Amino acid sequence: MTNMKRIAVRFFLCWLAITCLAPARSSRADGRERPFLGAYLNIPRLFDASDSLPDRERAIGRQLDEFKASGLRVVMPYATTTSGEALYPSNVIPDKRYADWDPLAVVVAAAKARQLEVYPVACVLACGKDALKGILRTHQEWALRDEAGRPIGHISPCHPQARAWVTSVMAEIVDRYRPDGLLLDYLRFNNRPMQLDPRGAAELAVRLRGVSPENRPRVVQQFKEAGLTELMRSISVDVRRRQPGIRIAIYSWGPHVVENHRVAQDWETWAKRKYIDMVNVSGYCYRANYGDRYLQVFKERLAGALAINRRAGGPVDVTLCLGIRTSHGRIEEAAEVNDYLSIAQRLGVDGAAVFTWDYLRPYLDAISRDAYFANFAAGLATRQ
């Protein structure tokens, strides 16, 4: 082979490596990149709690160096917890993990310095599960009730004052950190038999007067969906007023929750009304919960969500939430990551978010070696 040919071959191999291994870029009408590639971050797991503040901040920087090197490009740190606790020094949320330090600000600054996008994650309505925690300790009247009428740790979206308070939390996060996006988790009713808050129950009782028994479930469902949709509208309007152009995403179990489901999460309507920009659909399908059909169930779930989005006119991005370890199951080897990503790519999703970064890290060497994220991004970029 001549020297010129050798140089040409080397140039081609370098170009190929850059093309395949660098995060794929594809322009959007709003100027942002596709596909979405991110990971949820649990802030307390980014450092050792016994370390000094400078050591914690250096640990956060090291983790985000690793994050960027992985090919992921959207940092998704939890800002609030399912116990109604803030992971930043909030002026709105009463319970704060770090009252005198702001690790969320450190994460945001470190991410921006590395040219990573940031989507803080809020556990919107979860507030203690079976016990009242956070704001519900002082506002029990905002809580949903169990079948016996006892308040539970879940904020009711049917109470107007509760909706206003929740909206103020989202406003505080946006005003403080000016993120690229905001992801709303637990924006749904509790998935158990339950009763509304007292005010919501009284309003519903008025709606049910004269309604025949066979039509009562439909009226109840519509009332719940309307309350949750009003909360979504309130958040969307207020957040976009404060920061025009911010992208609003939700986490969802999938296509089955948009109609006649206990959680009443009608995200199809939210998409049509442009309250949201992205739906991050649960990919929590494992042999442990679905047996040998788990990948078929996974495929049907994503396909159903994509079909709903097309039916709505394609107003939002549909992305995969890839669960490395969850309460439903877990992956056992890195090759399983590629199984999910390959199916999602063929279906034509708009990206993926990994749950969570710390669960992903043990598999990163194998994922990078076999270019799973790079191949996923490149495949989606050619479609978009």
Peptide bond between residue 35 and the one before it cis (omega within 30 degrees of 0): yes
What letter represents residue 261's amino acid? H
pLDDT of residue 344: 98
Two tokens at 295? 């990948």
Least confident of 30-39, 82-91, 190-199: 30-39
Q: How far apart are CA 52 and CA 227, in angstroms?
A: 44
Domain assignment of residue 354, given as a range: 34-383
N- to C-terminal Cα separation, the chain:
39
- Residue 260, helix vs strand vs coil: coil
Average pLDDT over residues 233-241: 98
Going by C-alpha positions, the residue among 28, 25, 112 that lies closest to residue 317 is: 28
User: Could you report the per-residue pLDDT of 45-95, keeping only the tens digit for each?
Assistant: 999 999 999 999 999 999 999 999 999 999 999 999 999 999 999 999 999
What letter represents residue 53's amino acid? L
- Residue 352, helix vs strand vs coil: strand
Q: How far apart are CA 251 and CA 257, in angstroms?
A: 12
What letter represents residue 27's amino acid? S
Average pLDDT over residues 325-329: 96
| CATH number of residue 289's parent domain | 3.20.20.80
Total number of domains constituting the chain: 1
- Is there a domain that residue 122 lies in? yes
Q: How far apart are CA 254 and CA 249, in angstroms?
A: 14
Mutual angle of helices 198-207 and 216-242, in 10-degree steps: 130
Going by C-alpha positions, the residue among 157, 145, 228 that lies closest to residue 192 is: 145
Report the chain's mean pLDDT, rounded to a whole number.
92
- Is there a domain that residue 11 lies in? no
117-118 vs 126-129, strand pairing mode:
unpaired
Q: Could you tell me which residues are beta bridge partners of residue 78?
A: 121
- Is there a domain that residue 194 lies in? yes
- Is there a domain that residue 17 lies in? no
Backbone dihedral angles phi then psi of residue 277, each to the nearest 5 degrees: -115, -15
Which of the two residues, 16 and 195, has the higher pLDDT score?
Answer: 195
Structure-token match 């979206």, residue found: 157
pLDDT of residue 14: 36
Longest dimension (CA), the chain: 90
Please enumerate in sequence order all residues whose Cβ is within 8 A of that of 298, keeping only pairs 6 or more positions apart, or say none.
Answer: 283, 285, 340, 343
Structure-token match 């939210």, residue found: 270
Q: How far apart are CA 353 and CA 384, in angstroms?
A: 18
User: Could you report the per-residue pLDDT of 14-29, keeping only the tens digit for each?
Assistant: 333 333 333 333 344 4
Please enumerate in sequence order all residues whose Cβ is within 8 A of that of 102, keeping only pairs 6 or more positions apart, or say none.
Answer: 88, 89
- Is there a domain that residue 10 lies in? no
User: Could you report the per-residue pLDDT of 94-145, keeping only the tens digit for each?
Assistant: 999 998 999 999 999 999 999 999 999 999 999 999 999 999 999 999 999 9
DSSP string covering 25-69, please? Answer: --B-TTS-BSSEEEEEE-GGGGS-TTS-HHHHHHHHHHHHHHHHH
- Is there a domain that residue 26 lies in? no
Going by C-alpha positions, the residue among 249, 87, 112 that lies closest to residue 181 is: 249
Report if pTM > 0.85: yes
3-state helix vs strand vs coil in the chain, percent to 5: 50, 15, 35
pLDDT of residue 99: 85
Two tokens at 144? 């949903």
pLDDT of residue 144: 98
151-155 vs 126-129, strand pairing mode:
antiparallel
